[in-house]
Amino acid sequence: MKGCAFGRIGKQMASDELLRSWERTTAYLRDARSHISEAEEGICSDRIAAFEEYLDHNELELALDMLDDVLEESGFETPHLLELMAKAALSMGLVDRAQKYDDRLTQRRGWEYHTKIE
């Protein structure tokens, strides 16, 4: 009985730190999304819609995947957009993914770039 009561009442809720991390990542993703032009939105409207749905359901990595798809399909890529996507990846602990964006930024800028988040 004790275990059953604990199961109903004692479910672990997301910690304050985790909630802050989700909020930070969501902000990076929304900011990145805001830098996609109307032309790219038209080309990738299905992926933009999926991005919004994933974000609404806190599926943050899937939302980032949709932004990646937009970049790949549209060919649209700016350094600031890549920086925001790298920050979102790093915020989620996706170090290899952040490195992928950093490598693209390094190539575009001509100097070694490393994403940092606060």
Mean pLDDT value across residues 65-83 = 93
Mean pLDDT value across residues 63-91 = 95
Give the pLDDT confidence score for residue 29 in this predicted structure.
98
Give the pLDDT confidence score for residue 2 in this predicted structure.
42
Half-sphere exposure of 49 (CA within 13 A, CB side): 5
CA distance 73 to 29: 18
Amino acid at 41: E
21-39 pLDDT, tens digit per residue, is: 999 999 999 999 999 999 8
Locate the domains of the chain by residue range: 15-109
Residue pair 43/73 in contact by the 8 Å Cβ criterion: yes
* pTM exceeds 0.75: yes
Instruction: Give the pLDDT band (50/70/90) at residue 13.
Output: low
